[in-house]
Chain A
């Protein structure tokens, strides 16, 4: 029962992640919605940044974890890492979709359009498609080991989209504004940076917390499945014996 002990350990940390997420997000929401001044150019609507940017960066972080986990899995074939990858993929897909959605809501009052096919928006949509493809692929392969391996290979190939997303606003002409925190320095004044950082840390913690819960869920699901299968076969064996 080694894996069980690992999960117990993770569970002990889980509370800290959840609590930290609640604290950071609470502080971030207060600062973002009440405690921070409006922007000189965008006015109040800049507050959407504090939810949109953390969601977007967390989904990129999530995909990075997925790619690294997939590499690890191909190397060590550790099933719990595969469980984690599967959990991370589902959550990254949710975060990516929400980042796109909140981005659309930010785009309407600032750019005056919900959607446009510029390099940043397109490459981010591609990320969502890759994640959906990954999740779909995993449901269609019967053999669990194969499912994990194919998924891992797919996730690693899909990683090429990440640098494209990150640098799209620097390399090409886009409607989307360039990175605010880059080699040029920080282009956000402290009053507006504080809620952004709070929300970003909070979202990362929330993501980690949700990954832990989901990894545990997938593990328990498989455990129960295996147990039920074993009980059934025992039942049949005992029947055929008598």
Chain B
């Protein structure tokens, strides 16, 4: 029994460490602002903004340069994008923009565009995939140990 607890306890500790490390790895990608926050707080420095590209506002000048309006719940942001050819930029799409807010011109200068990373779905899938297996295996291992004890107690292997 103690052997079992040690092994599974070890596994639990390793899992927790891994979860914390993974979370830290992605933490920078998880936080983002919405257009109304950018309008209100006018943050300086590089930020990530989440919103939807409004219909009929996307104008591409050349590959790698575009202007459009980013739609939030209660505010919009005019965006000027300059960077590598954006594969994901199109109208009615929810995107994450990485760049700086220019308070004097009231334009968001984006240098990169990414799709919403959906970490919730990823975490959900991994939990659903691995947790039941771990619990099932744990329950089975415990039962096997218990059965061994029982059989030993009932002196099954006694030579006649």
Contact = CB atoms under 8 A, between A and B. Distances in A.
Interface string B136-149: 11001101100110
A127 interface: no
A40 B88 CA distance: 9
Contacts, number: 94
Contacts of A33: 22, 25, 122, 126
Nearest to A29: B18
Interface string A82-119: 00000000000010001001100110110000000000
B150 interface: yes
Interface of B: 11, 14, 18, 21-22, 25, 87-88, 114-115, 117-119, 121-122, 124-126, 128-130, 132-133, 136-137, 140-141, 143-144, 147-148, 150-151, 154, 156-157
A211 to B, nearest CB: 10
Nearest to A38: B117
SS class, residues of chain A in contact with chain B: helix
Contacts of B126: 29, 33, 48, 51
Interface stretch (A60-68, A135-143, A182-190, A221-229): A221-229
Interface of A: 1, 22, 26, 29-30, 33-34, 40, 43-45, 47-48, 51-52, 55, 94, 98, 101-102, 105-106, 108-109, 206, 209-210, 213-214, 216-217, 220-221, 223-224, 227-228, 231
Contacts of B148: 220
A133 to B, nearest CB: 20
Nearest to B130: A51
Given A29-B18, A210-B140, A217-B140, A108 B150 contact: no
Contacts of B125: 48, 51-52, 102, 105-106
Nearest to A1: B157
